[in-house]
């Protein structure tokens, strides 16, 4: 094991709706089956904003920040345990979400090796950091919440039973939506309906969307229903809501879902956005969101990506094996990146929050440096 510093710089939130600060935290040596990664890049996640503005899922303050993924270099490995073939010097990305020694916005993270993915040769850390959080979210939501099959490896002549059934991806130009389209295309689902602003439609079709609809148009729901008018009920059996907005997405989706439709909604559901004066309002229980408007028999689930480790196959193979293979084979392409600048790590993290808050991000992922190589 290489020599590790005893302490490091980290970004923390001192209290809800307050500016971020820099604090000193310990660098935790790796136990068996763990690795230490020197973090060079991180990506922003909507959860960062929900934690900052709404105190979501924060048990106490100051709270270490970072839920959008990390990319860097393995600098230490534990003795014994399953290290997934990783060794010192490997470049990896990681979706690590337990906080503390795993918090992404600090110079070093100590994580189980099964939360890391070796980055294929030729792919930059900056690009790789956009992948793990959202790709894992797609695999979990599609299999656990929509209950569609994503076998690995794909049998040569395999065709999904639901191959030609409509799958609606609302928020298709979001980070999750972009990966959802690519995954569904590769697993041979042939009727992927994408909802986004019109400026992203050509890009989404190049990724595998069958048809695109513009949510900014007042008749978007009517256009979707017209497209599926000849399908058997439920006309749209699978719906992935990548945004989770009570009025922006759930309300129109209540007009599309029918008895038997499965709807997977990214959490938290945003009831009200934060303003300068008021805190945001969130709901983690989708059954409390517009209960009187959903069709009887529509199955509405809130996506809880952090539970993906309950699937032992995904725990063992999703980040260590499946993710790197999809990238290396060019099946999945990273998100487009927008680099957030700032003189310090705290400044970069604060600037990223401001961009998320202003809804200035569309069709790209905010990324920024944590430490130099």
Span 314-364, pLDDT tens digits: 999 999 999 999 999 999 999 999 999 999 999 999 999 999 998 888 889
316's enclosing H/E stretch is: helix 312-317
CA end-to-end span of the chain: 18
Helix (H) or strand (E) holding 34: strand 34-43
As a CATH number, domain 7-130+335-369 is 3.90.180.10
**Domain residue extents for the chain:** 7-130+335-369, 134-306
Q: How many residues make up the chain in this entry? A: 373
What pLDDT is recorded for position 362?
84
Tokens of 128: 């790789």
DSSP code of residue 321: I
Give the per-residue pLDDT at 360: 80
pLDDT in tens, 115-161: 999 999 999 999 999 999 999 999 999 999 999 999 999 999 999 99
Residue 210 and residue 164: Cα distance in Å, rounded? 11
For residue 113, count CB atoms less than 10 angstroms from its CB and return exposed for 0-12, middle for 13-18, buried for 19 or more: buried
Residue 167 CA to residue 169 CA, distance in Å, equals 7
pLDDT at 64: 96
Decide whether 7-130+335-369 matches 134-306 in CATH topology: no
| Residues of the chain below pLDDT 50 | 1
Q: pTM of the predicted model, to two decimals?
A: 0.96
CATH superfamily of 134-306: NAD(P)-binding Rossmann-like Domain (3.40.50.720)
Burial 12-47 (b: 16+ CB within 10 A, else e): bbeeeeeebeeeebebbebeebbbbbbbbbbbbbbb
Q: How many Cβ atoms sit within 10 Å of the Cβ of residue 310?
A: 11
pLDDT at position 339 is 97
253-269: b (≥16 Cβ within 10 Å) or e: bbebbbeebbbbbbbbb
pLDDT at 277: 78
CA 272 to mean position of chain CA atoms: 21
Rounded (5°) CA angle 92-96-30: 75
pLDDT of residue 361: 84
pLDDT of residue 1: 47
Residues 123, 127: Cα–Cα separation, whole Å: 7
- Whether the ω angle into residue 287 lies within 30 degrees of 0, i.e. cis, is no
Q: What is the pLDDT of residue 148?
A: 98
């Amino acid at each position: 094991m290489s020599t590790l510093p005893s302490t490091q710089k980290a970004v923390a939130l001192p209290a809800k709706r307050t500016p971020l600060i820099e604090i000193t935290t310990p660098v935790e040596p790796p136990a068996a089956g763990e690795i230490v990664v020197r973090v060079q890049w991180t990506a922003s996640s909507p959860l960062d904003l929900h934690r900052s503005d709404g105190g979501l899922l924060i048990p106490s303050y100051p709270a270490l920040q970072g839920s959008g993924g990390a990319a860097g270099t393995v600098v230490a490995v534990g003795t014994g345990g399953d290290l997934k073939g990783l060794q010192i010097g490997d470049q990896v990305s990681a979706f690590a979400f337990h906080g503390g020694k795993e918090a992404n916005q600090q110079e070093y993270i100590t994580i189980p090796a099964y939360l890391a993915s070796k980055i294929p040769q030729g792919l930059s850390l900056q690009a790789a950091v956009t992948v793990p959080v959202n790709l894992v979210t797609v695999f979990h939501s599609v299999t656990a919440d929509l209950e569609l099959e994503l076998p690995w490896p794909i049998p040569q002549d395999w065709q999904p039973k639901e191959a030609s059934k409509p799958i609606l991806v609302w928020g298709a130009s979001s980070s999750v939506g972009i990966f959802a389209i690519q995954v569904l295309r590769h697993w041979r689902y042939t009727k992927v309906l994408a909802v986004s602003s019109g400026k992203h439609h050509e890009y989404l079709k190049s990724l595998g969307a069958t048809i695109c609809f513009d949510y900014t148009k007042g008749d978007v729901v009517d256009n979707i229903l017209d497209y599926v008018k000849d399908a058997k009920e439920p006309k749209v059996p699978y719906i992935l809501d990548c945004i989770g907005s009570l009025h922006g997405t759930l309300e129109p989706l209540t007009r599309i879902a029918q008895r038997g439709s499965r709807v997977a909604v990214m959490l938290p559901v945003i009831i009200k956005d934060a303003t300068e004066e008021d805190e945001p309002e969130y709901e983690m229980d989708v059954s409390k969101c517009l209960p009187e408007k959903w069709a009887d028999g529509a199955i509405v689930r809130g996506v809880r990506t952090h539970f993906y480790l309950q699937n032992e196959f995904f725990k063992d193979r999703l980040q260590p094996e499946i993710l790197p293979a999809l990238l290396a084979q060019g099946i999945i392409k990273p998100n487009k990146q927008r680099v957030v600048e700032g003189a310090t790590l705290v400044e970069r993290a604060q600037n990223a929050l401001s961009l998320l808050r202003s809804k200035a991000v569309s069709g790209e992922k905010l990324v920024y440096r944590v430490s130099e190589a």
